[in-house]
Amino acid sequence: MDVAYRVPFNRVRPRDHIGVLGPLLPQKYSPLRSTGVGLQGVYLAEVSRVFAEVLAGLIGVEAQELVSAVASASAPSPAVTGTPRIEEWEDNLQKLLVQNPAIIETEKLALIRARRGQGLFKENVMRMERACRITKVDNPSHLIGSHIKPWRDSNNEQRLDGENGLLLTPSIDHLFDRGFISFEGDGRLLVSPVADTLSLRRMGVATGDKVNVGDFSSGQRRYLEFHREAVFLQAAAR
């Protein structure tokens, strides 16, 4: 049978995210081992809706578009909405965190605040960063501790690691978290070809110039490698 397919630009290896995916795997007939390696003997394994939503969130925009298309094609009425957004996927991860008895309450609170770029995580980031790399705003009241490797992809240690963060204004945080911008390790600003340049300019991003925002620490550079590979939208929309 002829089929149409497209290789995704953001390829996800389950073993790289097993800390997030592992708790969502079925206890029986799981398609993955606890290490994230696939079980070749399991055929057409069923996974939960939450697992599918989290996996789609890790893959990004392409998976969202695919699931939206399937939902639209099978929807019985216009009342059916699209796929859950990243916010909802992170809500599911936060619920798992809250329910985890192995994590003490104070750490849970710090991790939840870190999701919003506040609390202990922001304090840790402020030990390294003084202002938004793009807008140069330096009043902490107007800045968010923005994860380089997203909160949803990080383990609990990385979620509080100051080197896994930048201080950004909310609009720049949105662009960075959704992959419309990124940075090379040497500080060069990268603008995604799928980004709306007019909107970026209105948010304070100089899209027509070669922008360098300054040096990053060695830890930040390692996290930025992940951001460029897994978050940054590198391919033009088709």
Give the pLDDT confidence of 100-140 residue by residue, as tens digits. Answer: 888 999 998 999 999 889 999 999 999 999 999 999 999 99
Answer yes or no: is pLDDT of 71 > 60.
no
Element containing residue 219 per DSSP (H, E) = helix 218-226
144-191 pLDDT, tens digit each: 999 999 998 899 999 999 999 999 999 999 999 989 999 999 999 999
65-91 mean pLDDT: 55
**pLDDT the model gives residue 128:** 95
Least confident of 27-36, 41-50, 69-78, 180-189: 69-78
Amino acid letter, 30: S
Q: How far is CA 33 from CA 22, 39, 41, in A?
A: 9, 6, 11
Query: pTM above the 0.75 mark?
Result: no
25 pLDDT tier (thresholds 50, 70, 90):
confident
The whole-number pLDDT of residue 194 equals 87
Confidence of residue 74 (pLDDT cuts 50, 70, 90): very low
Instruction: Of 182, 173, 189, give the one whose Cα is nearest residue 227.
Output: 182
Across the chain, what does the average pLDDT equal? 82
Give residue 76's pLDDT.
Answer: 43
Quote the CA–CA distance of 157 and 111 in Å, as a whole number: 9
